[in-house]
Structure 1
């Protein structure tokens, strides 16, 4: 499965929910950009991009099941849904497992266990910050405490702290 094929499948999965589609396209764009600027190897780049596309796969289920799609519920439901979504993707099992792991941790800001997860967290933050009007103070705090990639820091500064 390529990132483009995953994007097409995820758009169909989203059932026309424009907010969800626009959000994962933003996260994918930021993640793909940061990953390329950071020089990820091709396999890690693909893993990152697919994880960025499917990172909020659990939101529809969470809104229905819990009445909201907060981070802990997304992580709880997301890894399983991602594994199901990617079952027929043709990707190696280890790569599918890593993508599910990333989806299952994309709101956990501690114990970040790889550059792919770090970039996904930074990309999701950027998309959420622009969609929800986070303050400059919030962005500066994220830069100090969470952001680690040089490319992600530059993008956050350019977008949120010009």
Structure 2
């Protein structure tokens, strides 16, 4: 399974929803950049990048079932379609397990258990901060509490100038 295959499948998955496609593309770009700067192993980088492409896969089923797609519902509804998509691409079981775990926790900030998880959260926050027009004080607060990687911290400071 290649990342490009996952990328194409996620574009198909969010067909007709350019906002979602743009979102995961940006999260993927930041996750890739930060992961490379943090010198993740090749396998960790691969898992991170696949998870970044797929992290919001739970939005569609959450909206269909509940008419809402808050973080908790995304985490709840994302694992099943993620596992199905990854299995359809013949991904290795250990890859599926970790990617699904990251999808199921990407809005949970108090149980970060690895660099791949940390970087996914930072990349998603960078994109969400801009897309949601978060106020500067909120961005600074999350920066101080959540950001741990040097590259992620620098991108956040440079992007939001503080």
**TM-score normalised by L of structure 1:** 0.96
Instruction: Give aligned pairs, total.
Output: 162
| Alignment deviations for residues 14-57 of structure 1 (CA, whole Å, 9 cap, x no partner) | 12210110000011011011101111111110100000000000
Deviating above 4 A after TM superposition, structure 1's stretches of 4 or more consecutive aligned residues are none
How big is each residue's C-alpha offset from its partner over 1:72-109, in whole Å with a ceiling of 9 and x where there is no partner? 00001111221111012232101110000000000001
Aligned to 1:3: 3
Instruction: Work out whether 1:117 is the aligned partner of 2:127.
Output: no
The answer for the alignment partner of 2:63 in structure 1 is 63
Q: Structure 1: give runs of 5+ residues left out of the alignment.
A: none
Which blocks of at least 5 consecutive residues in structure 2 are unaligned? none
Q: Give the match for residue 12 of structure 1.
A: 12
C-alpha distance in 1, partners of 2:16/2:50?
19
TM-score normalised per structure 2: 0.96
> 1:31 matched to which residue of 2?
31
Q: Tell me what 1:85 maps to.
A: 85
Q: Distance in 2 between matches of 1:90 and 1:65?
A: 28
Aligned to 2:140: 140
**Pairwise CA RMSD of aligned residues?**
1.0
Cα pair 1:139 1:161 within 8 Å, conserved: no
Deviations 1:135-160 (A, max 9, x none): 11111111111111111101111112
User: 1:23 aligns to what SS in structure 2?
Assistant: helix
Distance 1:161 1:63 in 2: 35
Distance 1:83 1:97 in 2: 8
Is the contact made by 1:136 and 1:161 (CA closer than 8 Å) also made in structure 2? no
